[in-house]
Amino acid sequence: MTLIVLALIAGTAAAFTVAERLKLERSPIGGPKFDRVFSPVCECETDRARLRLRFRRAETVDAAVVDRRGEAVRTLVEDEEVRKGEHTFLWDGRDDAGEVVPDGRYRLRLHLERERRTILVPTLVEVDTTPPEVVFARVVPPAFSPDGDGRVDHVKVVYRSSEKGRPELLVNGETAILGRARAQGKATLDWRGRIDGETVRRGPYELAIRVRDVAGNLSEATAAKTVLVRFIELGEDAYRAEAGATLEFTVVTDAASFRWYLFRPRGGKAGRPVLYDESATGASVSVLLPGDLEPGTYLLRVAANGRRDRAAVTVEAGG
């Protein structure tokens, strides 16, 4: 009986020693650097996953992608000779039949023939083919002047995305801003009235938002909202007044002050102004025309921050 007990103790000790040695033995692979999420249908840079590993010695490898149940969905390589060092496996998110696998998380399983070991790499790879849902909330203010004077120079685009992603602002269907990645939920973009580095002309513009998520899926563009780009504008294209009476005109601008000039063009040239004010303020201007002002067609010009507008003024003889 004593001998049997001693034999059992010795066997247990030997097994324990082997188990501890296996625990201390370095893994034949290390440093997994996987693309953690990708979309095989995005037609973009993230339409496949790069699965990088470091092999501590040369090996003959079988590599397969397995689902959460451990079942193989795609065989990547069989009996492939890999050298010591870093090696990359590529997976396009499809199974052995060429079909896109269901959205979810997957792992890489390796069989090392020389080591006679099978290793399930714990690092997860996620397949995501669902684009974000994006809602365009509002654009404020509804009109702005991107003239660089620091007064209402940009608009704020407010939107909400169901996923973290990189927003894209479309202006009249053209990409104007490609923003940095933002968290899911409410977010904003600022548009300063520029496309391809150039300030747009005055007029209405249609703004829309779409978002590309981390996997690479691009959302549909939202319904567009209109914003008005304006600089300095006269309220009318033409005015009429009598000599000796008051000429009244309106100016739309967010500039602190503006300039206006009344010219009598001759020979196709404006010449010197007959009346002017280089520090006008307010939206309405009233100016008394001289009683001896010659009847005819004049040119009214307003200017601020390098922008200007014009209108015709017909001056009639005083009554």
Res. 10: pLDDT tops 60: no
Res. 14: pLDDT tops 50: no
Residue for token pair 């300063």: 192
Query: What is the CATH topology of the domain spanning 29-127?
Result: Immunoglobulin-like (2.60.40)
Res. 8: pLDDT tops 80: no
Please give the average per-residue pLDDT across 182-207, as a whole number. 95
Please give the average per-residue pLDDT across 189-208, as a whole number. 95
Res. 35: pLDDT tops 70: yes
What's 232-316's CATH class? mainly beta
- Please give the single-letter amino acid code of residue 40: P
Residue 25: predicted pLDDT: 58
Query: What is the CATH topology of the domain spanning 134-229?
Result: Immunoglobulin-like (2.60.40)
Under the banding of pLDDT at 50, 70 and 90, the label for residue 266 is: confident
| Three-state SS at 18 | helix
29-127 and 232-316, same CATH topology? yes
pLDDT (tens digit, 9 = 90+) per residue, 15-27?
Answer: 443 334 434 457 8
| Three-state SS at 2 | helix
Q: Yes or no: say if 49 and 35 are a contact pair by the CB < 8 Å rule.
A: yes
- Could you say which DSSP state residue 12 is in? H
- Please give the single-letter amino acid code of residue 73: V
Sequence spans of domains, the chain: 29-127, 134-229, 232-316
Residue 73: predicted pLDDT: 98
Residue 271: predicted pLDDT: 87
**How does the average pLDDT of the chain come out, rounded?**
91
Tokens of 35: 């693309």
Under the banding of pLDDT at 50, 70 and 90, the label for residue 56 is: very high
Distance CA(88)–CA(91), nearest Å, equals 10
Residue for token pair 């704020």: 156
Please give the average per-residue pLDDT across 278-297, as a whole number. 95
Distance CA(188)–CA(179), nearest Å, equals 10
Please give the average per-residue pLDDT across 62-77, as a whole number. 97
- Could you say which DSSP state residue 87 is in? E
Instruction: Label the pairing between strands 307-316 and 238-242.
Output: parallel
Query: H-helix or E-strand containing 173?
Result: none
Please give the average per-residue pLDDT across 24-50, as a whole number. 91
Distance CA(108)–CA(100), nearest Å, equals 17
How many other β-carbons are positioned within 10 Å of the β-carbon of residue 25? Answer: 8
Residue 19: predicted pLDDT: 38
Please give the average per-residue pLDDT across 105-128, as a whole number. 96
Q: Yes or no: say if 63 and 77 are a contact pair by the CB < 8 Å rule.
A: yes
Res. 196: pLDDT tops 90: yes
Residue 92: predicted pLDDT: 98
Instruction: Label the pairing between strands 59-66 and 104-112.
Output: antiparallel
Distance CA(114)–CA(28), nearest Å, equals 11
Please give the average per-residue pLDDT across 189-217, as a whole number. 96
Res. 313: pLDDT tops 70: yes
Distance CA(243)–CA(220), nearest Å, equals 60
pLDDT (tens digit, 9 = 90+) per residue, 145-154?
Answer: 999 899 999 9
